[in-house]
Amino acid sequence: MNKFRTQIEDSGLSPYDRIVLLFAILRSPEGCKWDRAQTHETLLPYLIEEAYEVVESIETGRYGDLKEELGDLLTQVVFHAQLASERGEFDLDDVITQVVGKLVARHPHVFGEPKDLDPQQVRDQWERIKTESGEKESVLAGLPRTMPALTMAFRMGEKAGGVGFDWKQAADVVDKIDEELGELKEELAAPQVDPDRLSEEIGDLLFAVASLGRKLHIEPEVALRKALEKFRNRFDELERRVRADGGTFQDYSLEELEAIWQQIKSS
């Protein structure tokens, strides 16, 4: 049997030791040329892809696939840790040790003096501890700029709210949405529309809508994806009906397409 296969299938190895050894072998001179050629940067697309596949399996209720998708995501974590280990920076043990320490410190109501906190109080405590510990230069510094915009809007409002800068209730955010929509309408009615100003007003409106979702405990990114999936299903059905008799969209007026759309919505 192949010597590497023998090492990996050693019954004395824990699953943790097995996956760490696996990537050490893949990155060794006798390992895989593709794996040896990878860097933190070249692996980024795979990390993002695997994370989204985990999200999709959860959102679509395909929990039978979740184990595999989580495994694929885990391989990315181990791979990056292996790269860092080779450069003497840190290894997977260091990653785990650091995150365990952080989670213990962020849960003083569990690992310190017991307190009965509700979920929002736990979130507020989490943000307060981060700020007081000086881990970040500012309250918002920990938000990666590459985060999807709706998710960032949610998290930014959440962090600001964690230090007391927030609307008191959802109704206040609805008023803000009305205000932003009014400003957008004013810009659209201007004799000469300023594209930059228009973009700014739409951004303000989207931020306000994301804030409403946050106050109602609804993730705007998730809500929008659900809406898009619903639109996709309905549009696919619209397309199926249009082409049922060999037709095309050009054969129908907008009013006729809208009538079919309403039938699909009510079915």
SS in 3 state form for the chain?
Answer: CCHHHHHHCCCCCCHHHHHHHHHHHHCCCCCCHHHHHCCHHHHHHHHHHHHHHHHHHHHCCCHHHHHHHHHHHHHHHHHHHHHHHHCCCCCHHHHHHHHHHHHHHHCHHHHCCCCCCCHHHHHHHHHHHHHHHCCCCCCCCCCCCCCCHHHHHHHHHHHHHHCCCCCCCHHHHHHHHHHHHHHHHHHHCCCCCCHHHHHHHHHHHHHHHHHHHHHCCCCHHHHHHHHHHHHHHHHHHHHHHHHCCCCCHHHCCHHHHHHHHHHHHHC
Residue 126 is predicted with a pLDDT of 84
Residue 133 is predicted with a pLDDT of 75
The answer to whether the predicted template modeling score (pTM) of the entire model surpasses 0.75 is: no
Residue 187 is predicted with a pLDDT of 94
Residue 224 is predicted with a pLDDT of 94
Residue 1 is predicted with a pLDDT of 59
Residue 4 is predicted with a pLDDT of 81
Residue 170 is predicted with a pLDDT of 96
Task: Kindly give the parts of the chain with pLDDT less than 70.
Answer: 1, 134-137
Residue 245 is predicted with a pLDDT of 75
Tens digit of pLDDT for each residue in 33-70?
A: 999 999 999 999 999 999 999 999 998 899 999 999 99
